Structure 1
Amino acid sequence: MQSVHEATMREQFGATVTELLERDPRTALVLADIGVAQFAEVARAHPDRVVNVGIREQLLIGVAGGLALTGLRPIAHTFASFLIERPFEQLKLDLVHQGVGAVLVSAAGSYDWPAGGRTHMAPGDVALLDTLPDWHVHVPGHPAEADLLLRHAVAAEDTLQYVRLSEHRNAEPQPVEPGAFLTVRRGSRLAGVVLAVGPMLDAVLAATGTLDVTVLYAATVRPFDAAGLRAALGERADVVLVEPYLVGTSEREAHRALAHLPHRVLSLGVPRAEHRHYGSIPEHLAAYGLDAAALRARIAEYLW
């Protein structure tokens, strides 16, 4: 259980970005009202590099693109639905088409704030970015991983980076390496592979505790670590993807990784159909079939 004194991913984001703004004069932050209070002090110290555009998300991305054209490394932050979905045309034109880099950091992704309703849910954000080239996508499962991945994203100059923060998290951080899948549990040579993305790891570990499976952990999903997935396979090329966003988002990537092998892929994630009864995060996970009990039943049925 999370300690009351332990930082959330968004709190860690605030601390990390404040440090980067103080230390690196090329770093800039663009906000759209969300998260402004976190950066009040550093904004007073660096008003030329901390910009709040108000509730104008298309402008948020446009300003980030403009700052990148001047040689700065912009970080843009708001809720995922307002960062990816609403200004998608600006992502396509002001960043990708212009050939500039930026770091997008979201919050409230798929089900973080159910009381906010559908307007504040974006389970299709990663799938939408997949329609554009050259995006690096990170899905940390713990605040410590968010810190590491955010620093990596900012340091990767002139690249397009998306860091997807969430209230949903694992109890402990993993020793993640950006871009590489981590083997958390090794099954027998006959075991299938379950790939848990970001905050889904704890539920996957609980679901598979007595099952003969290899569990991989992904805190970076784009580029997809095809070599890491292939290396985890035993004699069976059976893979289960468990993602905290739209079901099937990484299915094509898994098929590409295993194209030379007879294989099967089961995708588990947030269903395409809208869930209209808004409750807590655990209630949404249960409704989506993403809690430990449902995952165990679905994984066991598929692999055996």
Structure 2
Amino acid sequence: MDTMRDRFIATTSRLLDEEPRTALVLAEISAAGFEQAQRRHPDRVINVGIREQLLIGAGGGIALSGMRPIMHTFASFLVERPFEQVKLDFGHQNTGGVLVSAGASYDWPAGGFTHMSPGDVALLNTLDGWTVHVPGHPDEAEALLRHAVVAGDDRVYVRLSQQSNSEARPVTGDRFLTLREGRGPAVVAVGPMLDNVLAATEGLDVSVLYATTVRPFDREAVRAAAGGRGDVVIVEPYLEGTSTTAANDALSDVPHRVLGLGVARRELRRYGTIDEHLAAHGLDPVSLRARISAFAEQGARGAHRRS
């Protein structure tokens, strides 16, 4: 199976052929994959070199001209390093564009902490008007990228990862999917966390929701799945707690508990592999099962005492 990044290159190359408003701005990363597209569209495929602030600034200028820019590099260099340009050249100027990242939280552990970005979604969450897609499969990445480029002129972040679920789910760019229904907590699995969550919750009396678009946050789906007990677990492939405020807001009028599971704030200095990072942050199936079960049992004891 190809990776999300492979699919991004193939899909964007086709979009450059199909959509004359589409432009692509690169900062060396993935440039080799776009050599043919650059030969076909030399005026709409621009590689600015290792100049990430210029990457965003050029994309902002292209947007002001009426084009639909796609900007791409590692997440740490796309969101964190040029954050001021993201804030001003798109938010302040009220223009639209599509940020497409690679690298995710720790997709290339050998690259060290400079190439890791567990805080990217939390950082974008400080800005107004950004849609955030977190696909869990290359097919979903293609669908969400096409939706981001063609469906509007707003500001969109598409977060790609080496991690992938075993199968694609139908995604629409807005609603969470309900995959299991139970009487216990509602467990929201974000993007590539789904397979681990499904394995972790096998046989547990919980609901499982699948989220590939986390901003805007699907408040209605969470409210419906949480039911009367109002307990929610959010399993995200980035900084733990990123979406707990959104879940708390969705349930603000009912008694509830929210558990945010994700990448811990502590820095891991022995980089290892992706799977080792998952285990170290408690995001492997065994760890998730223990953490979700403890949360559910605590809620059940509290409900028993109240009754």
Q: TM-score, normalised by structure 2?
A: 0.96
Aligned-pair CA distance for 1:158: 2.1
Is 1:21–2:16 an aligned residue pair? yes
Q: Deviations over 1:142-196 (max 9, x none)?
A: 0000000000111233200000000011010011221110001111xx3210000
Give the distance between the partners of 1:148 and 1:230, measured in 2 at CA.
Answer: 26
Q: Deviations over 1:59-101 (max 9, x none)?
A: 0000000000111000000000000000000001111111100
2:171: which partner in 1? Answer: 176
Query: Which structure 2 residues correspond to residues 195-210 of structure 1 after superposition, within 5 A?
Result: 195-210=188-203
Aligned-pair CA distance for 1:234: 2.8
Query: Which structure 2 residues correspond to residues 1-304 of structure 1 after superposition, within 5 A?
Result: 6-187=1-182, 190-304=183-297
Give the distance between the partners of 1:27 and 1:155, measured in 2 at CA.
Answer: 9
Long gaps (5+) in structure 2:
298-307
Q: Give 3-state SS (helix, strand or coil) of 2:173's partner.
A: coil
Contact 1:73 1:157 in 2 (8 A): no
Q: How many residue pairs align between the two structures?
A: 297
Deviates more, 1:147-156 or 1:74-83: 147-156
1:3: which partner in 2? Answer: none
Q: Match of 1:259, as an amino acid?
A: S
CA RMSD, aligned part only? 0.7
Q: Match of 2:193, as an amino acid?
A: M
Give the distance between the partners of 1:68 and 1:195, measured in 2 at CA.
Answer: 34
Aligned-pair CA distance for 1:109: 1.1
Give the distance between the partners of 2:224 and 2:289, measured in 1 at CA.
Answer: 24
Q: Give 3-state SS (helix, strand or coil) of 2:25's partner.
A: strand
Aligned-pair CA distance for 1:114: 0.4
Long gaps (5+) in structure 1:
1-5
Give the distance between the partners of 1:236 and 1:168, measured in 2 at CA.
Answer: 32
Q: Deviations over 1:200-223 (max 9, x none)?
A: 000000000010000000000000
Q: Match of 1:262, as an amino acid?
A: P
Q: TM-score, normalised by structure 1?
A: 0.97
Give the distance between the partners of 1:102 and 1:156, measured in 2 at CA.
Answer: 12
Q: Match of 1:288, as an amino acid?
A: H
Aligned-pair CA distance for 1:231: 1.6
Q: Give 3-state SS (helix, strand or coil) of 2:54's partner.
A: helix
Q: Give 3-state SS (helix, strand or coil) of 2:235's partner.
A: strand
Give the distance between the partners of 1:75 and 1:272, measured in 2 at CA.
Answer: 30
